[in-house]
Structure 1
Amino acid sequence: MASLTPKEKIALITRNLQEVLGEDIIADVIEKQNRPLKIYWGTATTGRPHCGYFVPMTKLAHFLRAGCEVTILLADLHAFLDNMKAPIELVQHRAKYYEFLVKSVLKSIGVSIDKLRFVFGSSYQKSEAYIMDIFRLSSIVTEHDAKKAGAEVVKQVASPLLSGLIYPLMQALDEEHLGVDAQFGGVDQRKIFTLAVENLPSLGYKTRAHLMNPMVPGLAGGKMSASDPNSKIDLLDSAADVEKKLKKAVCAPKEVEGNGVIAFVEYVLIPISELGAEDGKARFVIEKDGQEIVYETIEKLKEDYIADTIGPKELKVATTLALNKLLDPIREEYANSPEFKEIEKLAYPPPPAPEKKKKEKKIGTGYVAKKKGEVDGQAAPTTVDLPVAAPGPSTPAAQGLPGPYLRFTEAIQNGKVSAARDALKAIERIGVAPAKLRELKGQLSDLEGIDRAGRE
């Protein structure tokens, strides 16, 4: 806002952040250059956005109030590179869906989207200049450093793809190609931010500031994640689903550390209530024994929770009411927008139904046909019609193979990732031809990718 002093702007920009790298850069832009700070926040368009997205949205509101020029990067190519979470066609639909939902979230908390710039990564990341910069950066960043930078952001697997190494290089380069002074993200991206600070100057590009939000605990404890349905509430969940999930949330009495419900109040509900208040004061209301208790600070709420003045039940009820109030306009916009509904269906199509197994017909004649080569009193030798390694001194007998192989095939058909992994391990122990093993591992990898995309 124009009425804020430079120091007030900096204080608002850095409020509630866990860490800031290069605060002197921010001060130089605002105090010495006397111009708006240019900042961007990027999100890889993979799983369904959840209520944890209110945390960065609240900070975007702070940035705008401080007069910053804010860019939102819908990182569709990053999503494609993140261990093939989804094919490129699906990722493009999801990027559009994210645009709909992010705009709806911002409007629900009173942020004008007219001052925001939305950019799709694919709109500039395929340019000649950008590709050349990837080559240049890859010539000075080691494989070890690239892998380390993406360790907490890129999906980690036993056999990582090369795309996971390109991902952090691109995120670093986005700072230059979006023309910003600072990048904003979660503290889990700190290693990528450090990669940018250490290497962009070698390409002749300036060092940027980096602002980091804390990672909000999920409802089940641990990090709130799009891939864990028990840890998060989706932005389009019904009021009944919100209530159900919050009732099940981990919320130990008198404990505030790692308490996902209190963290949500601290980083979402209280800051958002402050944004909408005319006097600029936060207001979170908890009802107990027919009386309203109004909290203006999270410190007072935590103090009362530790003292057992308020308990998990009252906290969950109040959080449910406040969250559903935030989600109501988002759900309403979705319900009234055919385009919003259509892009949601394209972005997250239902998983294919598992194939029904055909039942074998059994003819109850009581007659058991002899196998080929069988003679009276002597069974024919069992054979396995699989391209497997011949049994040897260290290889179990071939007749042990059908069980694990059939279990693997059935697990793949029914989308059971864990069962498929177990069956594949059994097949490896028995011994299988290398070509066939590669084929089976490829099938498992495809299933894991589909499973992650579906859960997110």
Structure 2
Amino acid sequence: MVMSVDKRIELITRNLQEIIGEKELYKKLKSKKEFSIYWGTMPTGPVSLAYFFPMLKISDFLKAGIKVKILLADLHSALDGVSWDLLEKRYKYYEMAINLILKTIGTDTKNLEFVKGSKFQLNKNYFNDLLKLSTFTTVNKAKHSASEAVKTARDNPKLAGLIYPLMQALDEEYLKADAQFAGLDQRKIMAYARDFLPKIDYKQRIELMSPMIRGLIGKQMSSSIEGSKIDLLDDEKTVRNKINKAEYIAGNLDNGIISLLKYLIMVLKKDNGKKFVVEREKKYGGNLEYSNYNEVEKDFINKKIHPLDLKNAVAKEINLLLTNFRNNKKLKEFFKKAYS
């Protein structure tokens, strides 16, 4: 059965925060021409639960009949401070971990391709274009563009961090993508790409951005904030402890528990036709069952769910998701080589 344009658009835009070039997106989809999206990541720190969020969107793109390329940007990792002798080890670990996430959420990967950055970013034409782009880009512009996404571009930046946004812009062209998908923290780089690629005679791309996911502690999941994120290889007890310690004000939606529910757990439940269950003793009213996120949010705002009950239910769901990772010996071996 052929999916309608409206259904494709619904899948592609689900849970996105912003689209630059929305009219172009609709026009492209209605033309029924082949459409491709790329998403890139640097193989830096250990893959965390946060990677489930972009993978759910990639799953949406694939369901909508979009061709997707995942760029594992090994050279970008080096520019952001990863030791050169670890690049290949990190690449292998990331490729395996991301594939396992996609398998866990039931993604059909027929139209998915993994691309290694150094396979095309070291060729002559790419380097020539990088030099061309640099002649149009001021230091201040490069620093501004990279400031939210590249740690080496802050304060007293290294040159490496300033090259980063130029390369990310060129990746759109060299991956032959119609659109780039990323988190909202990449917005300045994506806006740079829209403005500067035409200066070297390349077309603008559509930019798709997902919201930044709230950390369990602090504003976002970050390795620099202890307890803010859950790693793929965390054991069950560690997951429960992190979720129990998560910042949480009853009735206030601005917390990491709600982010996990809205953008991960309830998306999977809805797609699989299952309910989210909050277990409670009969003397407190018995179990609560939810078919969609809005139902959970309503009860949360009205303080009908006890914080501990909700945290326990979320911890149970996350631990079920991570079972495949904890039991995968090869992934653990790759992790050890990449981070020993």
Fold-level similarity (TM above 0.5)? yes
Among candidates 111, 118, 127, match of residue 115 of structure 1: 111
Residue pairs, 1:6-405, within 5 angstroms: 6-32=5-31, 34-82=32-80, 84=81, 86-155=82-151, 156-256=153-253, 258-277=254-273, 283-290=275-282, 291-332=286-327, 334-335=328-329, 337=330, 340-349=331-340
Scaled by the length of structure 1, what TM-score is found? Answer: 0.72
C-alpha contact 1:26 1:37 (8 A) present in aligned 2: no
C-alpha contact 1:71 1:117 (8 A) present in aligned 2: yes
2: CA distance, partners of 1:208 / 1:273: 33
Letter in 1 for 2:70: I
Sequence identity percentage:
42
Please state whether the residue corresponding to 1:72 is helix, strand or coil: strand
> How far off its partner does 1:221 sit?
2.6
Query: In the superposition, relative to structure 1, how do residues 227 and 76 fare at CA in structure 2: closer, same or farther (>3 Å)?
Result: farther
1: CA distance, partners of 2:270 / 2:278: 16
2: CA distance, partners of 1:276 / 1:178: 32
Q: Which has the higher contact order (CA 8 A, sep 6+)?
A: 2
C-alpha contact 1:47 1:227 (8 A) present in aligned 2: no
Aligned length: 336
Runs of 4+ that moved beyond 4 A? none
C-alpha contact 1:288 1:310 (8 A) present in aligned 2: no
C-alpha contact 1:109 1:276 (8 A) present in aligned 2: no
Deviations 1:123-181 (A, max 9, x none): 11000011111101000011111110001001054421000110010001000000010
2: CA distance, partners of 1:294 / 1:81: 47
Please state whether the residue corresponding to 1:41 is helix, strand or coil: strand
> How far off its partner does 1:7 sit?
1.6
Gaps of 5+ in 1: 350-456
1: CA distance, partners of 2:301 / 2:13: 28
Letter in 2 for 1:88: W
2: CA distance, partners of 1:144 / 1:157: 11
1: CA distance, partners of 2:129 / 2:226: 38
Query: In the superposition, relative to structure 1, how do residues 113 and 330 fare at CA in structure 2: closer, same or farther (>3 Å)?
Result: farther
Please state whether the residue corresponding to 1:285 is helix, strand or coil: strand
1: CA distance, partners of 2:122 / 2:147: 24
C-alpha contact 1:146 1:165 (8 A) present in aligned 2: yes
Deviations 1:402-433 (A, max 9, x none): xxxxxxxxxxxxxxxxxxxxxxxxxxxxxxxx
> How far off its partner does 1:223 sit?
1.0
Please state whether the residue corresponding to 1:180 is helix, strand or coil: coil
C-alpha contact 1:108 1:330 (8 A) present in aligned 2: no
